[in-house]
Amino acid sequence: MSTVDPRPADTAARLPHRLPDGSVLELGTATAAYQIEGAVDVDGRGPSVWDTFTARPGTIKDASSGATACDSYHRHLEDADLVAGLGVRWYRFSIAWPRIQPEGRGRVETRGLDHYDRVVDALLERGIVPTATLYHWDLPQALEDEGGWLVRSTAEAFADYAEVVADRLADRVGVWATHNEPWCTAYLGHAAGVFAPGRREGGGAHRAVHHLNLSHALAAERIRAAHAVDVGTVLNLAPVWPERPEAEPLAERIDALRNRVWLDPLVDGEYGESVLAVAPELADPELVRPGDLELVQGSADWLGVNYYTPTRPDLVVPGRPPHPEGAAYPGVGDFDLVVREPRTDIGWEVVADGLEELLVETHRRTGLPILVTENGAACADAERVDGVVQDDDRIDYLRGHLAATHRARAAGADVRAYVVWTLLDNFEWAEGYTKTFGLVHIDPADQTRTPKASYQWLAQVARGEVTP
């Protein structure tokens, strides 16, 4: 990759916001477009793969969709006020590709760009740093009809889309993420089939992996050409802990697909031997073309880490129910995934020490500044005090993981921010509206927002009144 920076020397000085400098741990919260915006047929938005997927019977637990969600498309000012009320400085949001290019390429819908103009300006007016994610899984359906992430042309179209958005927003948005959790797109969406687009391609899902990696690098170049700074990507990395010594070979293969298939190209410019052992498709020169991996290497200025739970592979035990993500690791072979107690309401094991280990190891592996870009808990939210959700279990979860983040910093990991998932109860993908992660309760009847006890707790942390 060229070391010549095309940006003017005064770019950093002109931009109002940059990556945190690490002197303190910045706090923030996050959302995603399809989960909160609603308004799926407003202002020229085209259909996405999630609109199509949710329309298929049996794909979503409560047969719901993001058609209304939190109605944040119309209530973005109210949401900006909620972020400001927390007293945190960072808000990570995503941009819906189908709002900008309804057909996935070519024609630009200016009303979509105008909406995100208003979102960014509302945040800046309230002293909040806008952090934009270009892709949080809502691929335009028109591109899926042409093959989606299984074909190279989607990576090229993504770079064009990134250029359109950066040209409009890069004068005010300094921190950019290209992708959110490409593992979910590639393997839950193209191997397990439990996320959009609902494909079950087996090892063919590795094709999506490479096109996602390539699309990040191509888009990062375009964003920087628009004089933006601080371009990264967001990965849902996980510590992989074998449940018994005999499961260590399984753990190595799972780690290759969960973590190394993303980090190897970013750091080393290659798919390492352990990755190719389970994903031989990535050795295909028709897929991985000359120059691709050189583009990916060093293409991130920072790395986002989304952490919720560790991964515990085990040998197959007869009679044990299969884990729902078992099919998301093509090429690994037969295995089980063990989930210990305690668990959140979505069934994920709670281990705050896993975050500390992950941050230390990821910084050692990459040398990059790290943002914890998602961390949070799905809780039943059943207890109410004077009409307010008293989510002490969520507070306990956040307290433990925020403390783990501070321990990782003390151990030398360059962790700059801790961003809570999520601001609002929302459409939780295949779970529909049956699981709630939000700091703010959303009334499903009229989308009224009511901050929970965890919202008040995080505000106290931000003000320095509570030490996690």
CA 19, CA 131: separation in Å to the nearest integer? 9
Q: For this structure, is 181 an active site residue?
A: yes
Task: Locate 381 and state its tokens.
Answer: 């939210």
For residue 383, indicate whether it is catalytic. Answer: no
What the block records as the tokens of 158 is 């993504």
Residue matched to tokens 């958005």: 165
Yes or no: say if 220 and 295 are a contact pair by the CB < 8 Å rule: no
Determine how β-strand 388-389 pairs with β-strand 384-385. Answer: antiparallel
CA 405 to chain centre: 18
The neighbour count for residue 200, using CB atoms within 10 Å, is 14
Strand-pairing partners, residue 385, are: 388
User: Which of 144, 181, 221, 356 does the annotation list as catalytic?
Assistant: 181
Measured between alpha carbons, how far is residue 189 from residues 39, 146, 170, 183, 331 in Å? 24, 16, 30, 9, 16
Judge residue 305's burial from the number of C-beta atoms within 10 Å of its C-beta, 0-12 exposed, 13-18 middle, 19 or more buried: buried
Cβ atoms 162, 178 nearer than 8 A: yes
Q: Which one is catalytic: 163, 281, 357, 374?
A: 374
CA–CA separation, 441 and 434 (whole Å): 13
Helix-, strand-, coil-residue percentages of the chain, each rounded to 5: 40, 15, 45
Query: Residue ranges of the alpha helices (H) in 256-372?
Result: 261-268, 273-278, 292-296, 352-366
Which residues have a catalytic role annotated?
181, 374
